[in-house]
């Protein structure tokens, strides 16, 4: 089965990000395909490389980045939600006159059209978080 995943909650404020990660990992291990993971609303906070959790806690952003690298996942951060929360890639930083970017490895910034395509291309679109 081909899945697309939508994550609407930040990495340390709600269980949705952990649940989405665990589902994605399990689905891949079971031989399913992940078409795209779309991070929306506070879920875009999963895509900032500036997250520094305590040493004894899981590093949610790094887990997503590592999973994306291992499996060639397409992880998209909503551009409007990201800008509102100060998450920028190099192009968005330049376009908005900012002096740096903070997008984590394996993530890319794009628009809601990517979510629409994800829903069309997948057999199931699963939403994690409100």
DSSP string, 1-63: -EEEEEE-S-TTTSTHHHHHHHHHHHHHHTT-EEEEEEE-GGGGGGGBTT----TTS--HHHH
In this predicted model, what pLDDT tens digit does every residue of 55-95 receive, in sequence order?
A: 999 999 999 999 999 999 999 999 999 999 999 999 999 99
pLDDT for residue 5 = 98
Domains in the chain (CATH in brackets) are 2-128 (3.40.1260.10)
Q: Across all residues in the chain, what is the average pLDDT?
A: 97
Q: Considering the entire predicted model, what is its pTM?
A: 0.96
Catalytic residue (one of 5, 75, 78, 115): 78
In this predicted model, what pLDDT tens digit does every residue of 44-55 receive, in sequence order?
A: 999 999 999 999
| Residue 78: active-site member | yes
């Amino acid at each position: 089965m081909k899945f697309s995943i939508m994550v609407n909650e930040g990495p340390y404020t709600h269980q949705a990000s952990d649940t989405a990660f665990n589902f994605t990992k399990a689905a891949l291990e079971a031989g399913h395909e992940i078409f795209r993971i779309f991070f929306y609303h506070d879920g875009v906070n999963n895509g900032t490389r500036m997250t520094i959790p305590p040493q004894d806690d899981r590093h949610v952003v790094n887990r997503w980045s590592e999973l994306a690298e291992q499996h060639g996942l397409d992880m998209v951060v909503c551009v409007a939600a990201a800008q509102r929360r100060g998450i920028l890639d190099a192009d968005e930083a330049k376009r908005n006159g900012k002096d740096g970017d903070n997008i984590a490895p394996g993530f890319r910034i794009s628009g809601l059209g990517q979510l629409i395509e994800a829903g069309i291309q997948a057999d199931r679109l699963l939403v994690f978080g409100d």
